[in-house]
Amino acid sequence: MTTLPYPAFPGTTRTCPHCTATILTSAAVCPACQRYVRLDPDRLARLTSPIFCPLQVEGTIRHPGIAEPCEYSVLVQVQNDQGEIISRQVVGVGALGPREARTFTIRVEVVTAEKSVV
Ligand SMILES: [Zn+2]
């Protein structure tokens, strides 16, 4: 765990030292592994939870009932307001056997971006 200055530009990223996920530099807690990634006692309490969650989608898929196992890829794509793709990643892959199911959750957490105080 390290103490880092706040980024001058909103959206600046870094790598989580615990799980190597790409996270916001301003994050106090990694959204992927839920571990603390920065020491900042004055702002830690506010930054440990998102200000709001404007999108959360959850769904379950089941094996279609055929004899063979099936494979799946979980693709997440982010587009800007002009429709341009700014991020497209496969975040998980796996297989489904007969009578198996998987539940997927996509959650967008939004926090206020603040300018650097350093
Ligand atoms: Zn992490």
Domain membership flag for residue 115: no
- CA–centroid distance, 17 to ligand 1, in Å, is 7
Domain membership flag for residue 8: no
Domain membership flag for residue 116: no
- CA–centroid distance, 36 to ligand 1, in Å, is 8
Domain membership flag for residue 92: yes
- Check if the beta carbon of residue 33 is closer than 8 Å to that of residue 21: yes
Q: What are the pLDDT digits (tens) for 47-61?
A: 555 678 899 999 999
Domain membership flag for residue 2: no
Domain membership flag for residue 25: yes
pTM: predicted TM-score of the whole model, two decimal places: 0.68
Structurally, the chain folds into a number of domains equal to 1
Question: What are the phi and psi torsion angles at 46 (to 5°)?
Answer: -70, -35
Q: What are the pLDDT digits (tens) for 24-53?
A: 888 888 888 989 887 766 555 555 556 788
Residue 44: which domain range? 13-110
Retrieve residue 16's tokens. 């989580």
- CA–centroid distance, 23 to ligand 1, in Å, is 8
